[in-house]
Amino acid sequence: MKKKIVGLFVCMLLFTSILPITAMAGDENNPEIVDEENDCFGPLIYLPFQLKFLQIFGILPIDSFNFIDIVSAWFYENPNEPDYLYAAVKLKDLTVIRQDAIYTASWFYNGRGYVVGSHISNNGERTSCQVGILTWINRDNHAAEATYDFEKNIVTFKFSKEYIGNPNPGDVLTKTTAWTGLRLNLEPLTLLFGSGELAKDGAPNNATYGKDYIIQY
């Protein structure tokens, strides 16, 4: 009887010690990607005179770039929807502006890069979201879903695992990153000045990539 009690106690210790480890990935409290705040970069930030000029004439009526300043990003799954993967990007201050804000998360699986991203512009009147192979040539993009939580400052992506190589439980997503950007829309044209990346965020200690994510379902 004593051996059974000791064995049960050991099992409980093992379970409680393993549980925190398995919960380390896939939530806001333990994200794969963590970044410093106030580290956005790009021509509009490096050239304050041009920025002031654009602000005065109402071309870019914003006071800060907090809406593209990444705080963290993570991946997660829903056991009730095992065919889908989620990615979330938390911003310092998620705000919809008239210009085109871009939010993305990317990773590698089986040696191939993938990215999911969304564009939101015209004060939220226009949005789009796609997932596909991470390349600028012969893109194989598919529709995905993006939701914006302005209270929690989080952009969430939902997309089918079919479009990212059909990973199985135990497979690993590597080289995780999050990226945001801003383009200046002067309808019907897009102003090239200021286009491209204004914030590219990796992991703590200036690491190039965030932590790996292990597929759960």
How many whole angstroms separate alpha carbon 135 and alpha carbon 176?
Answer: 15
How many whole angstroms separate alpha carbon 175 and alpha carbon 113?
Answer: 9
Task: Identify the DSSP state of 168.
Answer: P
Residue 50's pLDDT is: 75
Residue 151's pLDDT is: 97
How many whole angstroms separate alpha carbon 129 and alpha carbon 207?
Answer: 27
Residue 62's pLDDT is: 84
User: Is residue 110 left, alpha or beta, with left meaning phi > 0 and alpha meaning psi from -120 to 50?
Assistant: left
Residue 13's pLDDT is: 39
The series of mean pLDDT values per 10 residues for the chain, 217 residues long, is 43 37 66 91 78 80 90 97 98 92 95 95 91 75 96 98 97 96 74 66 76 97
Closest to 31 (Cα-Cα) out of 115, 84, 82, 89:
89
Residue 56's pLDDT is: 78
The pTM for the full model equals 0.84
How many whole angstroms separate alpha carbon 121 and alpha carbon 18?
Answer: 44
Tell me whether the omega of the peptide bond preceding residue 188 falls within 30 degrees of 0, making it cis.
Answer: yes
Q: How many CB atoms lie under 10 A from the CB of residue 42?
A: 18
